[in-house]
């Protein structure tokens, strides 16, 4: 894990950064949209993973320079670049994990759903290539609106006859990362210990932190619950507004996506204790896709953990009821798009 890599460095301060990057496994990871705001720092973080032997970087432009730059880092993985649709198939062949941060980001005043028209087509095209070239890979979808792009991906994979719901993940790790950070700050807790499950989806009120299930156990006033919930739900917008037209979260997203990739690789490597929140096909509620804590194993989603939805507070129960219609319509919008005849 990245965390482990840094721990080794602390123990061997005089040996140089590279001593933490002894190869430990040899997985291949592809990043589609690798030259973008998320793609570049995410590629760097994955280049630092001792579990990765090959890093395949794909974009429609500017990826050659990113790959040349990264390839000079003396960490184990080999970096290869692929530009444009003609090279996409080769980028994907033989990879274990495909991460998709391709697509346009928000500007102030926009919702994530405002990105649908452009990003739905981008995700559709990329998933068709994934289906044709690496149907067994774990697929991590970052492109917004995640609430719709994951159902789109599922439909496209179904049409290609290769859908495995256990291997399709909407990346909601940033919501957990933010919830952990904000709760630790508010309650003066040691950051490393804090774990807040975030369920539902990844847009506005569909992002629902279950603060009552915070570990370690901590009590909140009603006002703290309200303030923290709203801050976590609006955290993406907080960054969009601060960037004032220059895009949305990229660095914290890269950090969160790298954590989710690392967790997936640990699971693929046989670690039997890997849990993350993710937006996946689910029977936890009456919605076909839902984010919750999941157990990840070698074959993908090994279990969907119901515990965080049990014994909810009144506030959380109401918020869960309130998010369902919006999440349902975002899922249906994605499915309708993917089923539309050209
Ligand atoms: P960006 O514009 O900086 O980068 C996007 C990259 O995608 C660009 O390099 C672009 O060339 C590439 N691209 C466009 N069309 C492509 C295609 N057909 N194939 C391959 N690559 C293509 O944007 P960004 O800031 O990196 O954000 C990317 C996406 O991630 C946005 O949709 C954003 O909303 C989303 N996002 C999601 C989360 C989350 O928590 N899931 C967090 C932050 C951002
Ligand atoms: C986020 O949560 O930061 C991303 O979904 C990007 C956005 O548009 O807010």
Judge whether 56 counts as a catalytic residue: no
Write out pLDDT tens, residues 134-159: 999 999 999 999 999 999 999 999 99
Instruction: State whether ipTM is beyond 0.90.
Output: yes
pLDDT at 14 over 90: no
The number of the ligand 2 atom at minimal distance from the alpha carbon of 237 is 9
pLDDT at 9: 46
pLDDT at 8: 44
What is the model's pTM? 0.96
167 lines ligand 2 (CB under 6 A): no
Work out the pLDDT band at 82, boundaries 50, 70, 90: very high
Residue whose CA is closest, atom 2 of ligand 2?
Answer: 236
Structure tokens at 113: 């759903």
247 lines ligand 1 (CB under 6 A): yes
Write out pLDDT tens, residues 108-129: 999 999 999 999 999 999 999 9
Residue pair 96/28 in contact (Cβ under 8 Å)? The answer is yes
- List, in sequence order, every residue forming a beta bridge with 289; answer none if it has no partner: 281
Find the catalytic residue in 56, 72, 140, 202: 202
pLDDT at 181 over 60: yes
174 lines ligand 1 (CB under 6 A): yes
Work out the pLDDT band at 21, boundaries 50, 70, 90: confident
Q: What is the mean pLDDT of residues 204-218?
A: 97
Residue whose CA is closest, atom 41 of ligand 1?
Answer: 142
Structure tokens at 73: 């880092």
pLDDT at 246: 97
Work out the pLDDT band at 6, boundaries 50, 70, 90: very low
Q: What is the mean pLDDT of residues 266-279?
A: 97
Instruction: Determine which of 18-27, 134-143, 326-335 has the lowest per-residue pLDDT on average.
Output: 18-27
CB atoms within 10 A of CB 13: 8
- Which helix (DSSP H) or strand (DSSP E) does residue 99 occupy? strand 97-100
174 lines ligand 2 (CB under 6 A): yes
The number of the ligand 2 atom at minimal distance from the alpha carbon of 144 is 5
Work out the pLDDT band at 7, boundaries 50, 70, 90: very low
Q: Give 32 Cα–ligand 1 centroid separation in angstroms.
A: 9
Q: What are phi and psi of 296, to 5 degrees?
A: -105, 135
Q: Give 236 Cα–ligand 2 centroid separation in angstroms.
A: 4
Structure tokens at 229: 């919930």
Work out the pLDDT band at 185, boundaries 50, 70, 90: very high
115 lines ligand 1 (CB under 6 A): yes
For the chain, percent of residues with pLDDT exceeding 70: 94
- Which helix (DSSP H) or strand (DSSP E) does residue 279 occupy? strand 275-281
The number of the ligand 1 atom at minimal distance from the alpha carbon of 63 is 9
Residue whose CA is closest, atom 1 of ligand 2?
Answer: 236
Maximum pairwise Cα distance, the chain? 61
pLDDT at 22: 83
């Amino acid at each position: 894990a990245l965390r482990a890599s840094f721990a080794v460095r602390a123990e061997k301060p005089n040996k140089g950064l590279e001593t933490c990057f002894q190869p430990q496994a040899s997985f291949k990871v592809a990043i589609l949209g690798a030259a973008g705001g998320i793609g570049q720092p995410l590629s760097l973080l994955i280049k630092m993973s001792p579990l990765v032997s090959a890093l395949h970087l794909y974009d429609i432009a500017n990826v050659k320079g990113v790959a040349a730059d990264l390839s000079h880092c003396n960490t184990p993985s080999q970096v290869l670049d692929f530009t444009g649709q003609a090279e996409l198939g080769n980028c994907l062949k033989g990879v274990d994990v495909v991460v998709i941060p391709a697509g346009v980001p928000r500007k102030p005043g926009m919702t994530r759903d405002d990105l649908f028209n452009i990003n739905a087509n981008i995700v559709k095209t990329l998933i068709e290539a994934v289906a044709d070239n690496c149907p067994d890979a774990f697929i991590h979808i970052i492109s917004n609106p995640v609430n719709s792009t994951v159902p789109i991906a599922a439909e496209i994979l179904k049409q290609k006859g290769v859908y495995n719901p256990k291997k399709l993940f909407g990346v909601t790790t940033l919501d957990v990362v933010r919830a952990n950070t904000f709760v630790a700050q508010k309650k003066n807790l040691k950051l490393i210990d804090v774990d807040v499950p975030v369920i539902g989806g990844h847009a506005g009120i569909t992002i629902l932190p279950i603060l009552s299930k915070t570990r370690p156990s901590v009590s909140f006033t009603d006002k703290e619950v309200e303030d923290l919930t709203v801050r976590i739900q609006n955290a993406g917008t907080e960054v969009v507004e601060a960037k004032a037209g220059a895009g949305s979260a990229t660095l914290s997203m890269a950090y969160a996506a790298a954590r989710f990739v690392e967790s997936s690789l640990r699971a693929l490597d046989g670690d039997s204790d890997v849990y993350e929140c993710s937006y996946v096909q689910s029977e936890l509620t009456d919605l076909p896709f839902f984010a919750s804590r999941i157990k990840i194993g070698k074959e993908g989603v090994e279990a969907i953990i119901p515990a965080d939805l049990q014994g909810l507070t009144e506030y959380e129960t109401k918020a869960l009821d309130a998010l369902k219609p919006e999440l349902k319509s975002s899922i249906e919008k994605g499915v309708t798009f993917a089923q539309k005849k050209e």
